[in-house]
Amino acid sequence: MRVITDTVELAEACASLAKADFVAIDTEFMRETTFWPDLCLIQMAAGNDEIIVDTHAEGLDLGAFFGLMANEKVIKVFHAARQDIEIVHHLAGVIPEPVFDTQIAAMVCGFGESVSYGMLVKKLLKREIDKSSRYTDWSRRPLTDKQLSYAIGDVTNLRDLFPMLRDQLHENGRSRWLDEEMAVLTDPATYESHPEKAWKRLKMRVRTKKALGVMMALAAWREKQAQAQNVPRRRVLKDEAIYDIATHAPTSESELAGLRSVHQGFSRSAKGKSVVEAVKQGLKRDPKTLPALKRGEPLSASELALLDLLRVLLKAAAGRHGVAPKLIATANELEKIARGERAALPSLKGWRRDLFGADAMSLCQGGLGLAVENGQVVTFEWQELPRGSGKETADTGKHQDMPARKTSHG
């Protein structure tokens, strides 16, 4: 293991790593007190090269590392890659490509939903990871031998995991499935920042279009402030305060001062005045141009029944194909399918449609039935009997309308 603090040494190391077919990569960063991640360490492993880059080293230029990330001849192997890629993109405008995410690969291979790195290492490599340094302060110097050992272990294990998962994907014929997931991770649009969409992060709901317009304006204002000041969003304005202000829509400092969610003196500050201006801008929004309000209306009895059937269908498909159910379809997607809101859902496209989406649509349209056979859930093409024949219950109970072909087992 080498700890690199010098630009020339980093360039030499990256040149050596660029000769490998793949490089295992991980980062350590801090984000508790900043909006943008503070990159503290970069770990890389390929072949016999095991490298830690101290990104806090004075005068260190990371250009060679970013060049390696952009090298399309080298596969970049991460576990739960989203935040690592986001850091690289923010610092250099580079999207690492091609990418292999071992967490997603493990889900495709049937290791469960959002399988942890430690569990994957234990199952495939029969190794135990010492997690005592997991939540250490990576920004503090000097780093201890224990911290360095933990950090380099992340990528040496990744280096050994990658061939095993890659080979299993090939054997299962599922490499294409992973390619579809990696296309999302390597799409620059995934990491673009749009302050005007920041309101979608908020879990609170408002009751009127007027309040929604104010909420959207406040969320956009907060996002811009947090980015410019490089502080967490909550440090600028808490979510609860945004909801309170959006609901009451104060158009003066005195009205703002009367809200319980705003601390004393805030309304007279420059930040308070900016909030009032954001409220006024939000009130100017044409209600017709605003998104529809989410009323949170409960599902009807028939929609709830359909949702239960969709859950059974998903579990059956996931069990048959050995794929984590969450990777095929989320709970939110199942509810949307049950409601009839089926446009642009990932579960109805690509390989997910082959495993589940096509059957889900057929189920919703009355063309597919579910039954239990030999203790397993099976699907069959439904052939509706004439109403009033008196045979509907008896015949379906005997599976007389089922063809021999079964399309899903769980």
Homologous superfamily (CATH) for 2-191: Ribonuclease H-like superfamily/Ribonuclease H (3.30.420.10)
Dihedral sign from CA coordinates of 382, 330, 317, 374: negative
Q: Which CATH architecture has domain 195-289?
A: Orthogonal Bundle (1.10)
pLDDT for 106: 94
* pLDDT (0 to 100) of residue 384: 54
Which of these ranges, 181-185, 206-210, 223-227, 291-295, has the smallest mean pLDDT?
291-295
Out of 39-43, 97-101, 340-344, which region has the weakest mean confidence (pLDDT)?
340-344
Asked if 300 and 357 touch (Cβ cutoff 8 Å), the reply is: no
**Helix H or strand E segment including 38:** strand 38-46
Q: pLDDT value at position 386?
A: 44
**CA 247 – CA 347 distance, rounded (Å):** 36
pLDDT tens, position by position, 391-410: 444 343 334 444 434 444 44
Hunting for tokens 């596969």 — which residue is that? 75
For the structural domain made of 301-397, what CATH number should be given?
1.10.150
- pLDDT at residue 14, rounded to an integer: 98
- On average, the pLDDT of the chain sits at 90
Q: For the residues of 170-223, what is the DSSP string, one character each?
A: HHHT-HHHHHHHHHHHT-GGGG---GGGGGGG-----SSHHHHHHHHHHHHHHH
Residue 56 near residue 139, CB atoms below 8 Å:
yes
Looking at the predicted structure, is the pLDDT value of residue 5 above 90? yes
Secondary structure (3-state) at 259? coil
Q: How confident is the model at residue 204 (pLDDT cuts 50, 70, 90)?
A: confident
Peptide bond just before 98 cis, omega within 30 deg = yes
Q: 268-276: long-range contacts (C-beta < 8 A, 24 or more apart)?
A: 271/225, 271/236, 271/237, 274/221, 274/225, 275/218, 275/221, 275/237, 275/245, 276/250, 276/251, 276/252
| Two tokens, residue 87 | 């850091």
C-beta atoms surrounding 48 within 10 Å = 6
Measured distance CA(366)–CA(364) in Å, rounded: 6
pLDDT at residue 382 in the model? 72
Question: Residue 393's pLDDT is what?
Answer: 40
pTM more than 0.85 = no
| CATH 3.30.420.10 domain position(s) in the chain | 2-191
**pLDDT recorded at residue 296:** 61
> What token pair was written down for 147?
């911290």
Give span(s): CATH 1.10.150.80, the chain.
195-289
Please write the tens of the pLDDT for every residue from 136-157: 999 999 999 999 999 999 999 9
